[in-house]
Amino acid sequence: MWLPLLGLLLGLGLGLLSDMQIPVIYQNYLSIAVLAALDTLLGGIRAQLQEVYDDKVFVSGFFFNVLLAAGLAFLGVHLGVDLYLAAIFAFGVRLFQNIAVIRRILLVRYDERKKVRKTTNNHKII
Amino acid sequence: MNTSYSMRITIVLFIIGIMMAVLYNTVQQPVERDTRDVWEIREELSQEKKRHSELLKEIRTLNEVMKRYESIAESSPEVAIKETIARLEESVGLTPYQGPGIQLILKPSPEAIALGTTLHPVPPALLMQLVNTLYEFKATTIAIDNQRLIQTSAIRDINGKTTVNGKPLAMPPLSVQVGTLNIEDAKKLKAQLEASSIIDSFYLDDVLLEIGEPQEDVVIVKYADAVKINYLQQLDKGD
């Protein structure tokens, strides 16, 4: 549980302390890549909770989505169409859907645990 | 929780962290855009050119000094050193100045006299503004009420009295002598002063600023005290 959080903090710390910067024109690509990465991450968590998690799907999805999003934005810039909006929309919608599913699963689990605790308590009393 | 799953999530979060931090850095420090127009750039260019020519001039004088040193050094190094000291003292303000310049007189305004307003010393901020304006218009030497201004001179309020170099100023009328490089500069200085808003600034404080005619022979006293150098240190030889 703590390991992923540590990873995030380590990444943030490394990025902030090294003071890395990218040219402003590539800012759009990076923001879309972050969105894609977040989407994949939440998808992975959901899959784990639904017990359909697959390593290959997760890792390939992560890189593929990030590259596809950046590529779409790149293409959009060159075609003069704001294609990155499509990526933002798609990822945004999926992000919320994933979060909703995760929330429901967690709520169901919480309720189940409560029920189990109640029944065990009842058994003890009997 | 599966270890491989946990490791994958950790790595992905690490990458997301780095990306977010980089994005944050980029958004926080936008590249400053150059918004100057052609005219401003031209002006800056001309200023830089002026500076360039000034630096060249300085290099030339220093070269001359070096040559003179070299030629004199063998016969009498003392003369060369004395000459340099005299020149440095002149530039610092330790010798009296005699040359082209103008004289300004600060008087109480006629209205103040007619109304019988109480006289106040000229405020230090106003004097500072005057001095800055004068230097801006190419004044080389300034003395306020016979107090020569040097690099470390302070104009300030001490116990309600305006002081220059730590000496209290007299009540108006008092005189300000200004030296310039040549008589043309003095003429220009007079014209620029007359056109500037400094006269109005003085008038608001009931002081009338009278600008005298450019003269060939303005005498300005030398700085009376010893120059205090508290924070300068001699460099080691060869540095």
Integer angstrom CA distances of residue A74 from A29, A62, B32? 7, 18, 25
Q: pLDDT tens digits, residue range B88-114?
A: 888 888 888 888 999 999 988 888 888
Of A9-18, B71-80, B82-91, B111-120, the poorest mean pLDDT is in: B71-80
Find the distance separating the first CA and the last CA of chain B, reported in whole Å.
Answer: 67
Distance from A76 to chain B by nearest Cα, in Å?
Answer: 20
B21 and A14 within 8 Å at the Cβ level: the answer is: yes
Task: State the angle between helix axes of A83-125 and A55-79 in degrees (0 to 180), rounded to the nearest 10.
Answer: 150
The pLDDT assigned to A107 comes to 92
B27 and A59 within 8 Å at the Cβ level: the answer is: no
- Each domain of chain B, given as residue ranges in start order, spans 38-92, 98-220
Q: Give the residue on A whose Cα is nearest the Cα of B15.
A: A11
The pLDDT assigned to A96 comes to 93
A124 vs B238: CA distance, rounded Å: 93
The pLDDT assigned to B1 comes to 57
A94 vs A43: CA distance, rounded Å: 8
Contact B23, A21 (CB under 8 A): no
B166 vs B226: CA distance, rounded Å: 13
Is the model's pLDDT at B228 over the cut of 60? Answer: yes
- pLDDT tier, B87 (very low <50, low <70, confident <90, very high otherwise): confident
Of A84-98, B149-163, B220-234, the poorest mean pLDDT is in: B220-234
SS3 B171: coil
Mean pLDDT of B33-42: 85
The pLDDT assigned to B115 comes to 85
The pLDDT assigned to A83 comes to 84
What residues contact B128, with CB distance under 8 A and at least 6 apart?
A: B155
A15 touches chain B (CB under 8 A): yes
Q: pLDDT tens digits, residue range B175-200?
A: 999 999 889 999 999 999 889 888 88
Burial of residue B142 (number of CB atoms within 10 Å: 0-12, 13-18, 19+): buried
SS3 A109: helix
Is the model's pLDDT at B8 over the cut of 90? Answer: no
Chain A residues with CB under 8 Å of B15 CB are: 11, 37
Distance from A92 to chain B by nearest Cα, in Å?
Answer: 16
The pLDDT assigned to B132 comes to 92
The pLDDT assigned to A126 comes to 63
- pLDDT tier, B73 (very low <50, low <70, confident <90, very high otherwise): low
B25 and A19 within 8 Å at the Cβ level: the answer is: yes
Q: Which has more pLDDT, B79 or A111?
A: A111
Integer angstrom CA distances of residue A29 from A35, A92, A102? 10, 15, 27
B133 vs B211: CA distance, rounded Å: 14
Is the model's pLDDT at B55 over the cut of 90? Answer: yes
What tens-digit pLDDT sequence spans chain A (126 residues)? 788 888 889 999 998 898 888 888 888 888 888 888 999 999 988 998 888 888 888 889 888 988 888 888 888 888 988 888 888 898 899 999 999 999 999 999 999 998 888 888 777 766
What the block records as the tokens of B156 is 């300030």
> What's the longest Cα–Cα distance across chain B?
97
- What kind of fold does domain B98-220 have according to CATH? Alpha-Beta Plaits (3.30.70)
The pLDDT assigned to B72 comes to 72
A22 and B31 within 8 Å at the Cβ level: the answer is: no
Distance from B37 to chain A by nearest Cα, in Å?
Answer: 22
The pLDDT assigned to B238 comes to 63
Burial of residue A112 (number of CB atoms within 10 Å: 0-12, 13-18, 19+): exposed
Nearest to A6 by CA among B2, B6, B3, B23: B6
SS3 B62: helix
Task: Fill in the amino acid letter for A112.
Answer: E
Is the model's pLDDT at B58 over the cut of 90? Answer: yes
B23 and A27 within 8 Å at the Cβ level: the answer is: yes
